[in-house]
Amino acid sequence: MDDTTKIAITRRLASAAGHIKGIERMVQDDTYCIDVIKQIQAVQAALNKVSTMMLDNHLRTCVTTAIQGDNPLEREQMLEEVVNVFEVTGKLSL
Amino acid sequence: MDDTTKIAITRRLASAAGHIKGIERMVQDDTYCIDVIKQIQAVQAALNKVSTMMLDNHLRTCVTTAIQGDNPLEREQMLEEVVNVFEVTGKLSL
Amino acid sequence: MDDTTKIAITRRLASAAGHIKGIERMVQDDTYCIDVIKQIQAVQAALNKVSTMMLDNHLRTCVTTAIQGDNPLEREQMLEEVVNVFEVTGKLSL
Amino acid sequence: MDDTTKIAITRRLASAAGHIKGIERMVQDDTYCIDVIKQIQAVQAALNKVSTMMLDNHLRTCVTTAIQGDNPLEREQMLEEVVNVFEVTGKLSL
């Protein structure tokens, strides 16, 4: 991962952690439940953005290298991992 | 897409459409709301599985071809599309 | 459920089922995978809207009756069901 | 919110914030992207559990009070808020 991306991702993660600390205080101060839930949803959206940036980086580096390389097992493993990460979206236990 | 995958995906889609027709009847028969919602969630999980199968196929065909090819613009477009599809997960309008 | 709501929900479900039949044809016609995935995501958004309408109706009818009633067990069951449905919706997103 | 629930929720939030600080270090140490994404998804699942606990508490306190009360406007507002929070959770998943 290049340094610019690493710094950008680290900042977003630090911001999300700080956001959660703020939500902790909201809970301790008896903030209205719905407002707390909305802040949690905002953190989840921010974390989604970080995951997307990580995936973007992964596709441009490891996955590209594996697909251009001549190790079919490695290529297969890379693609499976990406698909699995995508599928977690649908991991539902009804 | 190979024929086996196409048939498997088509069957799952037909099953999801049939499931929704069944939910329509549940609503007309005044089925308990929570039971209707659970059936809708089951269809959404089934559709997630279809999306995952489509993405799996896409990575193994178009994306692999583009990454192994020598058109950097096409490669870039492919990766962006995959990232965008992943990001829709986080498309949240608070 | 009043008739207006029932008709509105039934129409949305019929539309979602029709949308999925259209996606089946897209797959059979070898439509570009990413375009298929986007259509599936559109159906999921439509189904999410239907679930929300069902929950809205449920809260205004059964849940309101149970909370105003004097059967604590029934009230407890109603609230648990709503919480469970909410939790599963969040799991669908993870 | 009773103290037991408040302590339980605060602990889960503190744990999620700590988890994110750990993910920050993973990024700085160049941990494999897929492993980072999986950890982010674990935090999101933990946050989803906190939202569910908050909603559970909200339904048993404010919403119950409003529905048993005689202010129809307040009751209406409460139900709308719950429905909106549900709808956003579904959008997070699409």
Which helix or strand (DSSP H or E) is residue B61 part of? none
For B4-52, what is the HEC assignment?
HHHHHHHHHHHHHHHHHHHHHHHHHCCCCHHHHHHHHHHHHHHHHHHHH
* A15 pLDDT more than 60: yes
CB proximity A92 to C under 8 Å: yes
pLDDT at B93: 37
**C3 burial level (CB within 10 Å; 0-12, 13-18, 19+):** exposed
* Overall domain count for chain A: 1
pLDDT at A93: 37
CATH number at residue C11: 1.20.58.1000
* B74 pLDDT more than 80: yes
* C91 pLDDT more than 80: no
Q: What is the DSSP string of C13-49?
A: HHHHHHHHHHHHHHHHTT--HHHHHHHHHHHHHHHHH
CB atoms within 10 A of CB C10: 16
Sign, CA torsion C30/C35/C38/C43: negative
Taking only the tens place, the pLDDT of each residue in B12-31 is 999 999 999 999 999 999 99
* Least Cα separation, residue D2 to chain A (angstroms): 10
Contact B40, C47 (CB under 8 A): yes
Q: Return the exposure string of D50-83: e unless at least 16 CB atoms fall within 10 Å of the residue's CB, then b.
A: bbbbbbbbbbbebbbebbeeeeeeebeebbebbb
Mean pLDDT of all residues in chain B? 92
Q: Could you tell me if residue A75 is inside a domain?
A: yes
Mean pLDDT of all residues in chain C? 94
Contact D5, D39 (CB under 8 A): no
Q: Could you tell me if residue B37 is inside a domain?
A: yes
Which helix or strand (DSSP H or E) is residue B68 part of? helix B64-68
CB atoms within 10 A of CB B41: 22
Q: Could you tell me if residue A94 is inside a domain?
A: no
Mutate to test the interface with D, among A34, A48, A65 (most CBs of D within 10 A): A34
What ipTM was reported for this prediction? Answer: 0.91
Q: Could you tell me if residue B51 is inside a domain?
A: yes
Q: What is the percent of chain C with per-residue pLDDT over 90, rounded to a whole number?
A: 90
pLDDT at B92: 40
Q: Could you tell me if residue A62 is inside a domain?
A: yes
Q: What does the DSSP 8-state code read for residue B56?
A: H
* A25 pLDDT more than 60: yes
Three-state SS for D41? helix
Lowest mean pLDDT among A88-92, B70-74, C53-57: A88-92
Structural domain boundaries enclosing C36: 3-92
Taking only the tens place, the pLDDT of each residue in D31-85 is 999 999 999 999 999 999 999 999 999 999 999 999 999 999 999 999 999 999 9
Copy the structure tokens of residue B47: 């559709």
Q: Could you tell me if residue B94 is inside a domain?
A: no
Q: What is the mean pLDDT of residues C8-29?
A: 98
**Chain A 19-38, residues with CB within 8 Å of chain B CB atoms:** 38
Taking only the tens place, the pLDDT of each residue in B25-49 is 999 999 999 999 999 999 999 999 9
Query: Chain C residue with minimal CA distance to D37?
Result: C94
Q: Return the exposure string of A27-58: e unless at least 16 CB atoms fall within 10 Å of the residue's CB, then b.
A: beeeeebbebbbbbbbbbbbbbebbbbbbbbb
Q: State how far the Cα of A51 lies from the Cα of A91, in Å rounded to an integer.
A: 17
Which helix or strand (DSSP H or E) is residue B94 part of? none
Q: Where does the pLDDT of residue A90 fall: very low under 50, low under 70, confident under 90, or very high at 90 and above?
A: low
pLDDT at A88: 79
Q: State how far the Cα of A12 lies from the Cα of A22, in Å rounded to an integer.
A: 15
Q: Could you tell me if residue A91 is inside a domain?
A: no
**CB atoms C90 and D52 under 8 Å:** yes
For helices D33-58 and D72-92, angle between their N-to-C axes, nearest 10 degrees: 170
Q: What is the mean pLDDT of residues C53-57?
A: 97
Q: Could you tell me if residue B18 is inside a domain?
A: yes
Facing D88 at nearest CB: one of B44, B88, B92: B92
